[in-house]
Amino acid sequence: MNWKHVQLIFQREMTDQLRDRRTLFTITVLPLLLYPFLGMLMMQVAQFKNDSSVRVQVVGLEHWPSDQPLLDAEGDLVVEPGMERVAKLIDFESIPWNTNLNPLAADREAGDDDISAVESRARNAVTLDQADLVLIVQPDFSQRLKERLRGSVGESDSPAAGASDVAAAQSAELDDGLQVVANLARDRSQIARKRLETVLESWQRNWASSYLEEAGVSPGVFRPLALNATDLAPASVKRAMLWSKVLPFVMLIWALTGAFYPAIDLCAGEKERGTLETLLSSPARRREIVWGKLGAICLFSIGSALLNLLSMHLTAGMIVKQLASQGTPQLAEALGPMPFHALGWLVLLLLPMAAFFSALALAVAALARSTKEGQYYLMPLLLVTLPLVALPLMPSLELNLGTSLVPVSGAIFLVRSLIEGRYIEALVHLPVVLLVTATCCWFSVRWAIRQFESESVMFRESGRWNIRIWVHHLWRDREDTASPAEAVLCGVIIIVSMFFAQFLAGSSIDSWAAIAKSTFVVQVGLILTPCLLMAIFLTRSFTRALRLHKPQPSHLVAAIMLGLCMHPSYMLLSSGIQQVYQIGEETQLVLQHFQSMVTAQPLWAVLLLMAVLPAICEELAFRGFIFGGLLRQHGVLRAIIISALFFGFTHTVLQQSISASVMGLVLGFIAWRTGGVICTMLVHAINNALSLSMAWFGANSVDLPVALDWALTHQDGAYVYNPTWTTASMVLSIGLLFIISRRSSETRRFAQTELA
């Protein structure tokens, strides 16, 4: 690698982008203007919403209890201290029950003082937008309220009983003579109703207190408990918690957007303008070009995110000040100012994330032939990365081993812990997060370099696509093994069909017959059949496509021993995963029920159906057809990782999926070194058989021979491995994998043909 070339390309790309007004506007000017503009708009809208009065008509205010009036002598609402602001935002218009006033006068007829007529007029008033809400106070409202209360108090012998009756009356009072007519599809009506309810609640409290005092009961009876909370969290930390959720999300979205547009211009744009070929013919190697461009894209991504952050910080500060001056100090206190130390941690998060997003954007942009085509790739890229950025917004999710393993989300959780001052927790998970993030960055950069090294990507010409020609091409140009695209398609077909089959099956699997049937359908129908059909129709050699290559004898023996030795490690891994990602109670019950049904059957039947059949079907599909296809064009790592992921996805429970994916990596390695699926079938079948047998022997209380005591112990109705054997088996497994990695010259030659 010539770093001088990288530096030159980086400098040129930076200069070029800084001279582009569109890029400059999107990356720098827009964020600086956007937040102040949005903040100003928000404040104005909020102010308008808060300050504008609502119109409330009250029909029959004369029926309101005179000893506890709703309006005072000046016609203002009687409310508790502190509620005056709300009261002022209601324009009350009192309409006497029998007074002729528009629109009530419009269709007034003799004897129309009944409730339905008044209600009909109230409807008109709301419909004709003469009021946002009409409150109807029925003629007997005051009387009914008093009678009920008096009766209740009279009947009760104790002040406490009286108080409960007051409460009952209080809860029913709105139904007893008050009616609200409003069009709640309109915002103003909704605001009017909220404000009216606030005012009436205030009136209620006054009313209840006065009656309780009359009855000799303290109004405090309604609040017998008062919690004195001691909050240890300083206000700054509480503010940090709020911002720690919002800021990473906003920042990373801008980091991605800030990376994508320069990536499109520096890749697809250059292809379109013809300058990329000029550069490709220069002494700079492809990887040097990628690193140079990546540096520039990364810097723009960081710059864009930082400017957004800064602009948001300044705007939030202004809004908080404004809120405080507008009489909402609690909200101002809760919101801000944005903690400054949070910005430092966010910058730390930004650096690896910007590198990751930039490499992803560059690799995706390399696919595009033009800037226009490149724009289409933004949405899929966002759809893939958005869930990872949004996951930490979910409530009750925190940094732990499980979340720290999720790319992007893990890093956000870590930074959140740092912002919230949980440094020990962050330090514990830092190595895992760093490892995951570094791996993601490495893979994305590698992908980008491969894209630039691929002639078919760099010099892709647009051609007319026709389904007939394409189908003909699939048949005519088929090769001994599947192509990488066909391999991925097979995996996707299996996953999607299993997803739908799961819904169709529902919860009907409640007997051994149903288990047997569903296992057979899934293994043969959904996993084996697609790969067999694709092997028949899309490849020239059935045995090569399914990798039915005869293994060398040493590999066969090693595979059988590995199956036996690796099982304790697999069990340890599974229990470790279950500790990190706890299985929910419901799932656990379902699994227990499932196990009880399985262990009640003869062992031979269980092994045949759940150990041998999956080993054959899954290995033919994942380490056979899919692996063989992905192996082409020297894609060893690609084949091992992608086939393992597909294998993991076919296991429905998350915890099983993770352990199966890890197992898939080991099986992938064995499949690569042995050149076929026979050895992986053996390892897979033995592993499944051991898991099932141990569960079966434990559930049926079968005593194992004493000779096995050195390896197994019976604990709580289940067999578990002794720690000594577990440790020893791990060492043995490594040794056996080493044996498997040694290939004869014939196996090596065969492997070379698979890579072509």
Q: Which residues bind another protein (CB under 8 A)?
A: 4-5, 8, 12, 15-16, 19-20, 273-275, 277-278, 280-285, 455-456, 459, 463, 465-466, 469-470, 473, 476-477
Nearest distance, CB of residue 9 and another protein, angstroms: 8
d(CA 241, CA 252): 18
d(CA 368, CA 457): 8
Nearest distance, CB of residue 634 and another protein, angstroms: 14
Nearest distance, CB of residue 749 and another protein, angstroms: 22
* For another protein, the closer CB: 165 or 288: 288
* For another protein, the closer CB: 292 or 392: 292
CA dihedral 77, 79, 83, 89 (to 10 degrees): -10
Nearest distance, CB of residue 13 and another protein, angstroms: 10
Pair 433, 364: CB distance under 8 Å: no
Nearest distance, CB of residue 284 and another protein, angstroms: 6
Nearest distance, CB of residue 447 and another protein, angstroms: 20
Order across the sheet with 133-137: list the strands: 90-95, 54-59, 133-137, 178-182
Nearest distance, CB of residue 688 and another protein, angstroms: 40
* For another protein, the closer CB: 123 or 285: 285
d(CA 245, CA 618): 42
Strand partners, 715: 718
- Other CB atoms within 10 Å distance of the CB of residue 441: 20
* For another protein, the closer CB: 52 or 466: 466
Nearest distance, CB of residue 277 and another protein, angstroms: 5
* For another protein, the closer CB: 284 or 316: 284
* For another protein, the closer CB: 469 or 734: 469
* For another protein, the closer CB: 283 or 602: 283
* For another protein, the closer CB: 20 or 333: 20
d(CA 570, CA 186): 61
Residues with Cβ within 8 Å of residue 656, at least 6 apart in sequence:
574
d(CA 673, CA 105): 95
* For another protein, the closer CB: 4 or 341: 4
Residues with Cβ within 8 Å of residue 689, at least 6 apart in sequence:
607, 611, 612
Nearest distance, CB of residue 294 and another protein, angstroms: 17
* Strand pairing category for 178-182 and 133-137: antiparallel
* For another protein, the closer CB: 82 or 283: 283
Nearest distance, CB of residue 359 and another protein, angstroms: 23
Question: Three-state SS for 568?
Answer: helix
Instruction: Write down the residue that tokens 């935002």 correspond to.
Output: 89
Q: What is the DSSP string of 569-604?
A: HHHHHHHHHHHHSPPPHHHHHHHHHHHHHHHTS-HH
The angle formed by the CA atoms of residues 328, 330 and 332, to the nearest 5 degrees, is 70
Half-sphere exposure of 535 (CA within 13 A, CB side): 22
d(CA 686, CA 567): 8
